[in-house]
Structures are given as C-alpha cells and as structure tokens.
Amino acid sequence: MQRLKNIGGQIGHFGIIAAFVTFTAFPFYWMLITTFKQTNDLINVNNNPFLYNMPPTLENLHILFFDTQYTQWLLNTLGVGVLVVLITLLLAVPAGYSLARLAGRWGQQLAIGIFLTYLIPPTILFIPFSRIVADLGLQDSLWSLVLVYPSFTVPFCTWLMMGFFKSVPKDIEEAAMIDGLSRFGAFLKVVVPISSAGILTVVIFTLTLVMQEFVYALTFITSSSQLTVSIGVPTFLVRGDVYFWGSLMGACLIVSIPIAILYNFFVDRFVAGFTVGAIK
C-alpha cells in the first residue's frame, strides 16, 4: 500500500512538473514554429496552428534581417543596456551599502523614499524628461536613453541591494578592518564578493527593463538607425492592419533566448538576490 502511495506521489509530482514545463515552454515553441511558417500556412484557419502544414521557410528571417535594421537595433539595445547596467551598479551598490549600514529611522525612511520613486509611472515623467533631453541637445540620440533609464533602475536596485547588504554580518567587515583593510577595502574585497547574487540580480533586472522599455524610447528616438528593439520591431513590422507575424515572432525569439538562458543558468542566485532581503 505504501509503495502504491509513493508511486502515485511520484506520478503526481511528475505530472505537475510536466504541466508547468509545458506552460512555460509553449511561448518559445509558438514563436519558433511561427518564425518558419509560410504566410499562407498562418492565415489558413483550416490548418493546424501547432504544426507545419506547408514546408518551413526562411522568408520571415530574410524580411527581418534584410528589409529592416534589426541587427542595428540589437546593437543599439545592447549598447544602451551595458551602459545603463554600469551606471546602475556604480550608483546602486554604494547607495545600497550606505543605507544598509545607516542605522536608525532615517535610514529606513530614505530607503522607502528611494523605492517609492521607482513606483512613479513613466507616463508622468516623460514630459519633464523631454525638456531635459531637449535642453541637453540629446534628441534622437541613444544617449538620451542612457541618461533617462537609470532614473527607474537605480531606485529599485538600490533598495534591492540594501536588503541584500543587510544580510551580510557586520562582524565580517570588522574582522577585515582589524586585519588592516579600510572600510572601503573591506567593502570591495569582502562584502562585494559575498553579495554577488544581488549584483547579478541587478544586472539581469536592468538588462530586462532596458530591452522591454517602450515609452521613453518612443518619445526620444525618431531615426530608424537609432531605434531599440522594443520600438523598431513593432514600428516596421506592423504596417497599418498588416502584421508580419513570422518576422515579429522571429524578432521576439532572438531577443528572448539569451535572456531565458541567462535566467536558467543563474536562477538560484537570481532568486536569492530577490528574496534574501525579505527574510532578514
């Protein structure tokens, strides 16, 4: 009887995992199969949408790479993402450490105030930001995005790193300082390596936000060669009521795969970075 219960439990456990994997993997399967489908295969309602009813084609990828500036959009997005990640790390990591070590109610109030700025909708801020970008002469430039994006990545990442640094015992820093390191040296050589999970979380979170941000990129960029993926793809692959579904799915798939791989390789550290501050 006990053996039957164990077998039943294993079958139920496997069934739940299989259902979850199917649910999460289905969008990638749908993007993959749509990328290589012919247009007639897509629009024919009598065809099975989950299979190839006609031979696969590379025409959708040809449209994506040769009829649009998709490669340039990818490079633009990557360049902006790297710069924003560097700025966010340079500002959020020291700020989070300072708030974590700032005792008393002022430290907590400052932390809450910084986090609340992240909750302000971009639709409210893009008008004053437009004035700033215009005064600086950064219209239609990727530098405008590099300037604006840290306004919503730094507050959240500062709050995130503060919670992570609070989980690092002060005794470790004090021991390092007794051994001859300055506070900055102890922070750089002891605290930062221990906090690698939180730093990795900041990197992934920032890159993801940059890749999917729409409002600011639409407001500040007009030239097709300066667009990011989030704006270029819907602008040039949706023409009136005509949707280039195969090319759209191909563009989404190419962008999604690296992020999915990054999340899967570092999922343990990513979860730890988001949760460790909440349980301390």
Report the chain (280 residues): mean pLDDT per 10 consecutive residues.
70 84 88 90 84 89 91 93 94 87 69 75 81 88 92 86 80 80 81 82 86 87 89 87 88 87 70 53
Q: 């979380």: which residue's tokens?
A: 201
Token pair for 2 = 């006990």
Same domain? 48 vs 66: no
Provide the whole-model pTM.
0.83
Q: 């959708």: which residue's tokens?
A: 60
Same domain? 94 vs 33: no
Beta bridge partners of 242: 239
Same domain? 45 vs 134: no
Residue ending a domain, among 35, 57, 79, is: 57
Same domain? 123 vs 181: yes
Same domain? 161 vs 236: yes
- Pairwise CA distance, residues 93 & 112, whole Å: 16
DSSP string spanning 245-274?
HHHHHHHHHHHHHHHHHHHHHTHHHHHHHH
Same domain? 12 vs 104: no
Same domain? 30 vs 67: no
In the prediction, which pLDDT does 280 show? 47
Domain range holding 37? 2-57
In the prediction, which pLDDT does 86 show? 95
Side chain identity at 157, as an amino acid letter? C
Torsion region of 180: left, alpha or beta (phi above 0 gives left; psi -120 to 50 gives alpha): left
Same domain? 68 vs 188: yes
Same domain? 128 vs 217: yes
Tens of pLDDT, residues 239-268: 877 888 899 999 999 988 888 887 777 666
CATH for 263: 1.10.3720.10
DSSP 239: E
Same domain? 7 vs 116: no
Tens of pLDDT, residues 50-96: 888 888 899 999 999 998 899 999 999 999 999 999 999 999 999 88
Same domain? 10 vs 85: no
Side chain identity at 44, as an amino acid letter? N
- Pairwise CA distance, residues 104 & 78, whole Å: 40
- Pairwise CA distance, residues 71 & 77, whole Å: 10
Secondary structure in 3-state letters for 86-131? HHHHHHHHHHHHHHHHCCCHHHHHHHHHHHHHHCCCHHHHHHHHHH
Same domain? 67 vs 51: no
8 A C-beta contact, residue 75 and residue 65: no
Number of domains observed in the structure of the chain: 2
